[in-house]
Chain A
Amino acid sequence: QSALTQPASVSGSPGQSITISCTGTSSDVGGYYYVSWYQQYPGTAPKLMIYEVTNRPSGISNRFSGSKSGNTASLTISGLQAEDEADYYCSAYRSMSTYVFGTGTRVTVL
């Protein structure tokens, strides 16, 4: 079961916008609207930031937004802040009612 593909790292300056991609197949990212994004600080549990491609849970800043085109989903962080420096993982519902995570992206605020 192959993981979804993410860039290993993305960086940006404070105030800038960055986008993290998440590439899968028609059996996961492209086939369902169940793509999620998680933020993880070192030594802590992941935190849900986006679900169903574009939806933010209560309490999540609107600086975080999600989208999808074909087999690739994207997370955009606008107005980058120092506190956004973390690892980000995408996840997708996959055929046969299973789940798959992405390879993870380290976001660095310059």
Chain B
Amino acid sequence: QITLKESGPTLVKPTQTLTLTCTGSGFSISSSGVGVGWIRQPPGKALEWLAVIYWDDNKRYSPSLRNRLTITKDTSKNQVVLTMTNMDPVDTATYFCAHRPTYTSTFDMWGQGTMVTVSS
């Protein structure tokens, strides 16, 4: 059974850097074809794809946010870390991580999400 869990601060100040960790179980992020992505959702708004990292360390970022995002993985802990610099109140959102399976380009299992508020 695949599960993912996001962790990180619930409150960050403007201009600070956000670091979120996604811990996966029931799968290995080093298995061929596997990926883990990050998606966010501001309160009452739509989902927005942020980034994805693959088993081979290939990384892709949202073009609109690529200069602020960094995604990395720690295979020994089966974790994926997302950092976002220069946080702004408009970045207030629930941040989800999700599993990209080996067989296709979709996100088949999602974490419960973690709410991040940006405020001074």
| Contact surface of A with B, Cβ cutoff 8 Å | 1, 3, 32, 34, 36, 38, 40, 44-48, 51-52, 57, 89, 91, 93, 96-104
Contacts and interface: CB of A to CB of B under 8 A. Distances in A.
A101 B47 CA distance: 6
A36 B100 CA distance: 12
Contacts of A102: 46
Contacts of B111: 45
A98 B106 contact: no
Contacts of B86: none
19 contacts: A1-B62, A1-B63, A1-B64, A3-B48, A32-B105, A36-B106, A36-B107, A44-B112, A45-B110, A45-B113, A48-B109, A51-B104, A57-B108, A91-B47, A91-B106, A96-B63, A98-B60, A99-B52, A101-B47
B-side binding surface: helix, strand, loop or mixed?
loop
Interface residues of B, number: 24
A51 B32 CA distance: 20
Interface of B: 37, 39, 46-49, 52, 58, 60-64, 96, 104-113
Given A98-B62, A98-B63, A99-B52, A3 B106 contact: no
Contact of A104 (B46, B49, B58): B46
A43 to B, nearest CB: 9
A89 B46 contact: yes
Contact of B47 (A34, A51, A98, A104): A104
A45 B4 CA distance: 11
Contacts of B96: 45-46
Given A3-B46, A34-B105, A99-B52, 7 more contacts: A40-B47, A44-B112, A45-B113, A48-B107, A51-B108, A96-B63, A102-B46
Contacts of B58: 97
A38 B104 CA distance: 15
